[in-house]
Structure 1
């Protein structure tokens, strides 16, 4: 793969994580750059590891990964999104901005990062068939995701300030929408 195709692939793999990061940013109380960088690093590392894992699965698991990746992503993102919507609906409208958390748990970020990176695992499996050096491709995907997620969290901060106390509902709808879009793309391609 040349530089341009690697960069295009990296950007394509990071778009789901970017949308999820906006939702994560809206659910936080004025996220700082340190939290955005932390979130970006968690997503970026996971997004870099999954194509390596897909590469390792190789020929033996290609049909299994491709057959289920969209359903797994939809279930994980849908559940996280639904949880955020329910939490937002339960929130008292009189609650202040201070009631929002200042950071997400590592487990929640890792789960969301994994859900948005399952397609990168399938890409890794596919790249194993065409004899591509997976390490620079995985590094590019991880770096692009790191940048996009960091920016997404900060964009979510702005959106959270604009939409007010119901930002968590919007963030949950965004996560659910990302999962539904992944599912639709894979089902429509069949």
Structure 2
């Protein structure tokens, strides 16, 4: 039975008769001296070939997921809450401004004239020396029978009436259903132009019904 082995130098496969076992022979390819092994040593050295087994990572590992490392981002962020709080604070400061309520200063009666009888004066008698300003129930302002336009300035209108007529007194004839704010506006305009005397009358009350 022939002996098959490989050259230790070049790996050439050599086939030789079993009678040459234990002898030195020259490799036909590289010429290097090779010792012919015995048949028994070949049987001990030979092992069954087993192919390399590859690991199926998908089958062995399965659904592997990395655990997320806890960071400081998991903490509660209070920045948006603080922003909303400051915005609400600014809103309430701007909307809760105190409104200045105007008032009409009425001089007290003269103590020296206490008990004196007052003589009633009609509105027609006052028209000679006074500018008549009427305030209707819908708060429309009329200066000497001329309605005040929406885009007009009351102080300028009173100044023009004073310059044209020479009158420096004014009578405010306010309707009972008109707003007190409208009366205060007329008062302020009269003081702005330097009206010397301001009188007040009312119409449209219960006595007129």
Q: Which has the higher strand share?
A: 2
Q: Which has the higher helix share?
A: 1
Q: TM-score, length-normalised on structure 1?
A: 0.21
Q: TM-score, length-normalised on structure 2?
A: 0.20
